[in-house]
Amino acid sequence: MQNLFKVAVAAACIAGLASPSRADEKAVKAVLDKAIKAIGGEETLAKAGVLSWKTKGTITLGDNDNDFNGRTTAQGIERYRSEFEGEFNGNSVKGVTVIDGKKGWRKFGDNLTDLDENAVANEVRNVYLQVVPVTILPLNGKGFKVESAADEKVGDKPVAVIKATGPDGKSFMLYFDKESGLPVKQTATVAGFNGDEFDQETTYADYKDFGGIKKATKVESKRNGNPFLKGTILEFKTLSKAEPDTFTEPK
């Protein structure tokens, strides 16, 4: 009888531990499903094989705001091309970063660099931190783990908060407007060009419809609490496939 009592107690404890997990999964699914529906719906987003957008804005380095124009193309979270040009401290600069799985390159002007393993990993993280808020769908994939966090406010808006852990084992937080379901903020640790890490907070605003997909057209980031980037999305579109040389070594 005593052994049966112990078994019953253990079973009750296990059930008690399992129930919050199921409840958490249900809560997370509700938040993600609402976000996916608000952005455009799973069917529409699933057809978006390649994402492409153009941006103009400023990057703050030290006390200087530097104007730039950029174009980003992403296929999933491991194929990516980012091109930019701008004025930095009075100098015209052009740059390209390309990631193709485990390979990557960065080109400034005429100087081309092969990215090492760590640099590629850092760039892949930067890629998924950009792509995930656009469609949310990667969070339902095998490479990500998600769990709910305590509700908060962003400005005066109540938000639902999701903690996500990426394929690299690093976590980040996504904040969803409770009324609209749309992502309004992300916090994460990111690596700069030199590999040094920053606490980055990114906000998303002014959503507009582009061919059935809602995309934030105002994106602002702070690093360690300091202004870093302000961008305005000028164009956003989805493609069935990218041009053949999009994810190859920059020429």
Output the domain CATH number for residue 209: 2.50.20
User: Which token pair is 117?
Assistant: 């393993």
Residues 6+ apart with CB under 8 A from 81: 72, 73, 74, 96, 97, 98, 99, 246, 247
Segment 188-205, tens digit of pLDDT:
999 887 778 999 999 999
Segment 72-96, tens digit of pLDDT:
999 999 999 999 999 887 788 899 9
Per-residue model confidence (pLDDT) at position 172: 98
SS (H, E, C) 15-30: HHHHHHHHHHHHHHHH
pLDDT surpasses 70 at 142: yes
**What is the DSSP-derived secondary structure letter of residue 181?**
-
pLDDT surpasses 90 at 247: yes
115-131 exposure pattern, b = at least 16 Cβ within 10 A, e = fewer = beeebbbbbbbbbbbbb
Segment 29-75, tens digit of pLDDT:
999 999 999 999 999 999 999 999 999 999 998 888 999 999 999 99
Distance of CA 131 to the CA centre of its chain: 5
Domain count, the chain: 1
Residue 172 lies in a domain: yes
Residue 150 lies in a domain: yes
Domain extent at residue 28: 2-74+132-239
Going by pLDDT thresholds of 50, 70 and 90, the confidence category of residue 21 is: confident
Residue 83 lies in a domain: no
Report the predicted TM-score, pTM, of the whole model to 2 decimal places: 0.88
Which one, of 165, 184, 188, 164, lies nearest residue 175 by Cα? 184
Residue 251 lies in a domain: no
Residue 188 lies in a domain: yes
Residue 81 lies in a domain: no
Length of the chain (residues): 251
Segment 156-182, tens digit of pLDDT:
999 999 999 999 999 999 999 999 999
Residue 202 lies in a domain: yes
Share of the chain above pLDDT 90, in %: 80
The Cα–Cα gap between 220 and 210 comes to: 20
Residue 82 lies in a domain: no
